[in-house]
Structure 1
Amino acid sequence: RRGLKAGGFVKMTEIQRGAIPRALAGRDILGEARTGSGKTLAFLVPLVESLFRERWSRMDGLGALAVSPTRELAYQIFQVLAAVGAQHEFSAGCIVGGRALEEEQKAVASMNILVATPGRLLQHLDESPGFYASGLRMLVLDEADRILDFGFQETVHHILGHLPSERQTQLFSATLRTGVQRLGKAALRSPEVVSVHSGAESRTPDRLKQVYMVVPLEQKVDTLFSFLRSHSQKKIIVFVSACKQVRFFYEAFRKLKPGPAVMELHGRQSLTKRLLTFQEFTEREHAVALFCTDIAARGVDFPAVDWVVQMDCPDTADSYIHRVGRTARYQSGGNSILLLLPSERAFVTKLAAARVTVRSISAKQSKVTTIQGKLSGLLAGDGAVKHLAQKAFVSYMRSVRLMKDKDVFDADALPGEAFSQSLGLAGVPELGNLGAEADLEKNPLKKQKNQTALQRLKDKIKQKREAKKGA
């Protein structure tokens, strides 16, 4: 109680009122609540309290596990755990990919509570001597729908195979779609379903003001720059489709200085760099714009974000909801703006079908400043930024080509030459074979080269398991 009060957690949210008493009574929980509703405390309070009631000590080993789909969310859960559990003497750790496994192996066996990403947790369960989960009392699967989106279903099932059947489990998700329910059947026993927003008129927070603007592709960069200039004192998150776009806009805009300080967050950064950026953006109160990919779109809580700008159309309505969920969290207000191409207007209908209403607005042309000349001059004098511009162009064109929803995304409608000029490029970069990704299965070496480190790790674990079965 003292830890909660010291952390400023005084009044419970709806999901907390529904889940905490049931979890404290020992029931498994299947929780559904939209983003920003306070799910983290809904499972951490029972987790800490249950171990406290059992007088769990450092000698008792691992008592609780919280599994998160991303490193950033795992880190944030751990921060909240450290705050609310400050009055207790449990040993706790956060294990995620990106660090040397050997460093974690030295400490992991002595932890009472672990927050982990699925791939790294399974790797420790398979490979770390002295690390056992046979006495586990509570398992938490947070952002279960995103765990499935990231392809961790098989990994989670392998993790469940390492855990005792006599345990309490809490599973939380923004939606209880079919895949989440299947995972719930595998992980939970006669759960209490706590759903607090399933019947709501909107799947986004009431205090969130949502607008969209139809902008031709060749005008997007000017529109974004002008938006940042006119909102220079605000705290802003800008979502784009690919890491290469983040790199280009970060390097170009920090030189062209639209007004707010600019930062970057994407999956190609080292774990240390990502966490430092995450922490710095969290601590800034205003006059900052964070360029990022969807890596930051789920679960993490950036305080007091004024605007979410979606420069590129998300792949689905669910992704849109996750992105705008970075603002208007808990009892705060917030704003979001979505930039759609003329060929992407159908996405508004997709949002309406998902119970999301967005209002159309138009840009005031008098406030839109063109920076094409400045970008051209920058690229002419800086070969590194020019290279990033070329990569950003190709990455964006490829991302649209690979989108599954062809009702919304039409790669053939993209004006390549005008778009490249808007980035400051004198010519259109060579696109190569944009359909090559579809043929990766036929080329194992190329497939491995294009995989993330996480996917390579998952394949390695799978191969080891198959080898053991064969033996």
Structure 2
Amino acid sequence: LIKMTKEVKKGKPAFRPGQKNYLRRSHQEQQEIKVLQQKVTDGAPPRGTNPLALEGATETCYAGAKKFDEIPLSTITRNGLKKASYFNMTAIQRAALPHALAGRDILGAAKTGSGKTLSFLIPVVEKLYRERWTKFDGLGALILTPTRELAVQIFEELKKVGAQHDLSAGLLIGGKNLKEEQQRVCSLSILVATPGRLLQHMDETAGFDASPLKILVLDEADRILDLGFAATLDAILANLPASRQTMLFSATQTKRVKDLARLSLRDPEFLAVHQEASTATPFKLQQAFMEIEESSKMDLAWSFLKTHLKSKTIVFLSTCKQVRFMFEAFKKLRPGVPLRALHGGMKQMKRTAVFYEFCEAKSMVLFATDVAARGLDFPAVDWVLQMDCPEDAATYIHRVGRTARYTKAGKALLFVLPSEREGMLAALEGAKVPVKELRHNPEKSQPVTPALQALLSKDGELKAFAQRALTSYLKSIFLQPNKKVFNVEEVDVEGLAASYGLATLPKLWFLKKKDKKQVVVQEESEESEGSEESEGGEESEESEESGSESEESEESEESEE
């Protein structure tokens, strides 16, 4: 539901135009805005420069500043930062804020946990403050983020920074009451939203107008720009004015001309503060991988949790069904540490509750899909365990970025199957990710497979969870485009099923279809070789088309099931 950074009670603003304190403050703001605009204009860094290269701020140029007090910010923004205990700027903030305050488009890339959120929230509230924005001016700033949890987190930070501003802000995410949002959304100055929910309001909310927009922010921009959000993002951009300030931030950034053209970026500043760093991950992050056999996957995961009962751990898996099975099974087996699950199939209220529970816990295990890998700032995470290989190096960087945030230390462990080792390690090396190999100590092993088998034999519902989890995982491998890492034919399916506690394999329709396709192709090849007439070639093409249609039919039947 929409939350307000500045509550408006009974339709009356905090300061009514007829009151003396309002007039006094209004006059003071006018004077401050004039001074700020002059400082921003005169002290802006030259285009194409990185303020990090400067030793410190000077009287004529604020670029190079290391503290928030040294850059031209309004008094009320400074007060909000001080109250939230923000005094010194991080590297990405030092690089981005001088350019962003000057109204320039930004492409910012920095390691996870480096403070990117303030790098765009401060320019947002400052720009609207200098424009003397009110609720009658419409939508002034839009912040898009790929996940609901990240949107909630950004909104909480916005409330801190903008606590003393007379600006209204809204949080638009799926899983909330659309009609209640529609009653207020048109009077909001700042929106923090997920793409799908925002587009829904653009299509269905009467009077929703984004034409006054002054600033657009894409957090985790690489995820929003990929194919999963392409159509939604294009539809949103069609409703936004081209003459706006645009800022993109992520741990891994794009420079593709196609993406920049879509966003109407004007001479953007490329600020990759860790581009020259020796590693792409935080320096205080200890990273390791362990090569494991499919049959021992659950045993090693259980052993890990049992030997880290006092730690705060995130366990990443590939699919929602795996997360659900792991959570339900391990909950029944009682490892001795609180367990929670977070995935895209959960209702929004439950997802939010789990997010806050994990944030506040001192020791807990969170089973999660990549919905938790993007931008979320979980306090004091000790370990990140990746039970399944990430789809690429960028996803790996985002996953391990949930620990070792800011100046804190953390540890990360990746399980790789023998078939995944060579390709995955090559991808990580190419992305400047240092990982060392660990070997399993058999003496510390605590097998859980026999207990899982006994549990599944008594619990039909849990057995169904296990079957769906195994099927979804194997299908995710089958659909991965990078066959140097993900080749389902090289996976020990029987061993993996045994690890899940399953005595027999579930039906794997997608593997059967692949076998059928190979047979069809082989038959067509033989027919083509034996035929000397062109008509034979045409028959071969017709056979191939019919095979394709049968595959599409099977796929539709499977999706309906």
| Contact 1:217 1:414 (C-alpha < 8 Å) held by counterparts | yes
CA contact (8 A) 1:30 1:184 kept: no
Give, in angstroms, the shift of residue 325 of structure 1: 0.9
Report deviation, 1:426: 2.2
**Match for residue 394 of structure 2 among 318, 323, 332:** 318
Root mean square deviation of aligned Cα = 2.2
Which of residues 398, 411, 432 in structure 2 aligns to 1:335? Answer: 411
Give the letter for the 1:56 counterpart: W
Q: Does 1:236 align with 2:313?
A: yes
The CA deviation string for residues 145-187 of structure 1, in whole angstroms up to 9 with x for no partner, is 01123522332232222122222221113233344x5323332
Question: 2:108–2:271: 8 Å Cα contact kept in structure 1?
Answer: yes
Q: Give, in whole Å, the separation in 1 of the partners of 2:554 and 2:136.
A: 46
Counterpart pick for 1:401 among 478, 481, 493: 478
Q: Which amino acid aligns with 2:394?
A: D
Question: Contact conserved, 2:475 with 2:510, CA < 8 A, in 1?
Answer: no
Letter paired with 1:318: A
Q: Which moved more, 1:351-360 or 1:170-179?
A: 170-179
Q: Which residue number in structure 2 is paired with residue 345 of structure 1?
A: 421
Paired residue total:
449
Residue of structure 1 aligned with 2:360, choices 270, 273, 283: 283
Aligned to 2:453: 376
Gaps of 5+ in 1: 452-471
One of 214, 226, 231 as aligned partner of 1:154? 231
Contact between 2:328 and 2:462, CA under 8 Å: does it hold in 1? Answer: yes
- Equivalent of residue 264 in structure 1, options 332, 336, 341: 341
Aligned pair 1:365/2:442, yes or no? Answer: yes
In the alignment, is residue 20 of structure 1 matched against residue 130 of structure 2? no
**TM-superposed deviation, 1:330:** 1.1
Structure 1 residues 100, 400: closer, same or farther in 2, change over 3 A? Answer: same
CA drift at 1:127 = 2.3
Once the two structures are TM-superposed, the CA of residue 397 in structure 1 deviates from its matched residue by 1.6
- Find the counterpart in structure 2 of residue 251 from structure 1: 328
Q: 2 CA distance for matches of 1:164 and 1:47?
A: 17
The structure whose Rg is larger is 2
Distance in 1 of aligned mates of 2:512 and 2:148: 30
On the 8 A contact 1:226/1:258 being kept in 2, the answer is: no
Structure 2 counterparts to residues 55-74 of structure 1, below 5 A = 55-74=132-151
Is the 8 Å Cα contact of residues 38 and 330 (structure 1) preserved in structure 2? Answer: yes
CA shift for structure 1 position 92? 0.7
2:556 counterpart residue number = 446
Q: CA deviation at 1:8?
A: 2.5
Q: Which amino acid aligns with 1:375?
A: L
Residues 1:203 and 2:280 are matched in the alignment: yes
Q: Per the alignment, in what secondary structure is the counterpart of residue 472 of structure 2?
A: helix
Shift of 1:383: 1.6
Cα distance in 2 for residues equivalent to 1:117 and 1:149 = 14
TM-score by length of 2: 0.76
Return the match for 2:294 from 217, 230, 242: 217
Bigger relative contact order, structure 1 or 2, given CA contacts below 8 A and separation 6+? 1
Aligned identity (percent) is 51
The Cα shift of 1:259 comes to 2.4
For residue 162 of structure 1, give the secondary structure of its aligned residue in structure 2. Answer: coil
SS of equivalent to 1:90: coil
Q: Distance in 2 between matches of 1:246 and 1:176?
A: 29
What is aligned with 1:461? none
Aligned partner of 2:234: which letter?
A: H
Contact 1:171 1:184 in 2 (8 A): no
Give the counterpart letter for 2:556 in structure 1: K
1:300 is matched with: 376
Secondary structure of 1:35's match? coil
Q: Distance in 2 between matches of 1:449 and 1:92?
A: 40
Which moves more between the two structures, 397-406 or 337-346? 397-406
Match of 1:38 in 2: 115
* Counterpart code for 1:281: F
Report how far residue 97 of structure 1 moved.
Answer: 2.1
SS in 2 for 1:139: strand
The whole-number CA distance in structure 1 between the counterparts of 2:159 and 2:485 is 44
Matches of 1:118 and 1:428 in 2, distance apart?
A: 39
After TM superposition, the structure 1 stretch with the greater mean CA deviation from structure 2, 392-401 or 152-161, is 152-161
Q: Deviations over 1:412-443 (max 9, x none)?
A: 22222222222222222222234769979945
Residue-by-residue CA offset, 1:14-64 (whole Å, 9 max, x unaligned): 110111121111222121212211111100011011111222122222111
Q: Give me the whole-angstrom Cα distance separating, in 2, the residues matched to 1:268 and 1:436.
A: 27
* 2-structure distance, mates of 1:300, 1:108: 25
Which residue in the other structure is 1:51 paired with?
Answer: 128
For the residues of structure 2 that align with 1:443 and 1:197, how far apart are their CA atoms? 49
Look up the match of 1:192: 269
